[in-house]
Amino acid sequence: MLREQPKDVDLLILGAGWTSTFLIPLLEKEKITYAATTTTGRDNTIPFKFIPSAGSAEPYKHLPRAATILITFPLSGAGPSKTLVGLYRAVHGPHNHFIQLGHTGIFNQLPNSYSSDTSPYDTSDPRAIAEDELLALKGTVLNLSGLYGGTRVPSTWLPRLGQSKEDVRKRGAVHFVHGEDVARAIVAVHGRGGEGKRWIVADLRVYDWWDLIMSFSALAEETEEEDAEVQETRQKFAQWVGELMDEEDVRALPREMDSLGRKLDSRGFWREHGLWPRHARLA
């Protein structure tokens, strides 16, 4: 039987994907009413596809009125944020708060240093432009670090790092946040209302890619059922790290913080909202 869509909800999820697998159980636990959209209307969601160039408010009439609207898909460049917010508010009124999920790649202006919520960022980045547009409308932006949990397993990501030892040589700091903590962050912002603020959301740690590669290699040795090719990849990357440690006179892992390049200071969000990450370390 189809889930009846309410006319009014506390939180509307625009784009029910990976994040919603953690968010929806928390909303139900906290008794926060919600509705969610997908482009196809699968799993009893509301069919909705945002088209930046479309000026009709008709598709928004099928969405419920919500106190908080969460945008999970990326918006890019000038215009889309104003269009989405404007058309939704034309139908449902101005008394709502938008949250945009962004990424921390825009904080690349302070090499070999820490970037916090208030640090310089790449204002020419298309996603930063869209985020700034939403901030001007008193929305909130959550810039998320490496997302993991559920179907996202960091130990399987080594092929993304490159195909050679030289690719691994360039890898320094990396940051993560678990999907459950992303959900907790969204609910915390929902409870606070609009403030036009950008936050970095990570698990308060700085990880060294070389150290993680070695850890993933040890994990492969303990997992008998894992694909042989995957185990071989992990061992190959671990060998490269060992050789690089010798070549660059790195005596132990993790490497010194000053050698890891750009790092994130994510204390601000958790301190402001009176929370701390539940998954405080990558497993």
pLDDT digits (tens, 9 = 90+) for 10-20: 999 999 999 99
Domain contains 114: yes
pLDDT above 70 for 64? yes
* CATH value at residue 69: 3.40.50.720
Phi, psi for 146 (deg, rounded to 5): -55, 115
| pLDDT on residue 231 | 83
Q: What pLDDT is recorded for position 224?
A: 55
The predicted model gives 68-73 an average pLDDT of 98
Instruction: Report H helices in the chain.
Output: 18-29, 80-92, 126-136, 165-169, 179-192, 209-222, 228-247, 267-273
The answer to whether residue 252 is domain-embedded is no
Lowest mean pLDDT among 106-110, 123-127, 153-157, 238-242: 106-110
pLDDT of residue 207: 97
Q: Encoding tokens for residue 261?
A: 């390049």
> What is residue 1's predicted lDDT score, i.e. its pLDDT?
37
Mean pLDDT of 36-50: 95
**HSE of 100 in the Cβ direction (CA atoms, 13 Å)?**
31
Residue 253: per-residue pLDDT: 97
What percentage of the chain carries pLDDT values higher than 70?
95
Who's near 273: CB < 8 A, 6+ residues apart? 185, 188, 189, 192
Q: What is the pLDDT of residues 198-234, one digit of tens each?
A: 999 999 999 999 999 999 988 755 555 567 778 888 9
Q: Is 56 inside any structural domain? A: yes
Interval 231-249 mean pLDDT: 95
- 109-113, 158-162, 173-177, 225-229 — most confident range: 173-177
- If one counts the domains in the chain, the total is 1
* Pairing relationship of beta strands 173-174 and 207-208 according to DSSP bridges: antiparallel
How many whole angstroms from its chain centre is CA 158? Answer: 19
Q: Say if 243 falls within a structural domain.
A: no
Q: What is the pLDDT of residue 2?
A: 44
**Helix/strand/coil for 218:** helix
- Lookup result for tokens 């104003």: 82
Residue whose token pair is 């999970």 = 72
- Element containing residue 47 per DSSP (H, E): strand 46-47
Whether 196 has a pLDDT exceeding 90, the answer reads no
Rounded distance, CA 242 to CA 253, Å? Answer: 10
Token pair 């904080």: residue: 107
Flag whether 247 is in a domain.
Answer: no
Q: How confident is the model at residue 149 (pLDDT cuts 50, 70, 90)?
A: very high
> Is the pLDDT assigned to residue 5 strictly greater than 80?
no
Rounded Cα distance between 155 and 237, Å, is 12
Q: Mean pLDDT score of the chain, rounded to an integer?
A: 93
Instruction: Flag whether pLDDT at 247 surpasses 60.
Output: yes
Q: Is the dihedral of CA 199, 202, 203, 209 positive or negative?
A: negative
List the beta bridge partners of residue 101. Answer: 142
In a domain, 82, yes or no: yes
pLDDT score recorded for residue 3: 52
Q: How far apart are CA 237 and CA 165, in angstroms?
A: 8
Please state, as a whole number, how many other Cβ atoms lie within 10 Å of the Cβ of residue 200.
Answer: 26
Mean pLDDT across the stretch 6-30? 96
Using CA atoms, how far apart are residues 96 and 65, in angstroms rounded to an integer? 9
**Domain for residue 37, yes or no?**
yes
Q: Domain range holding 108?
A: 8-153+175-206+262-273
167 in a structural domain = no
Give residue-wise pLDDT tens across range 132-144: 999 999 999 999 9
At residue 270, the pLDDT reads 97
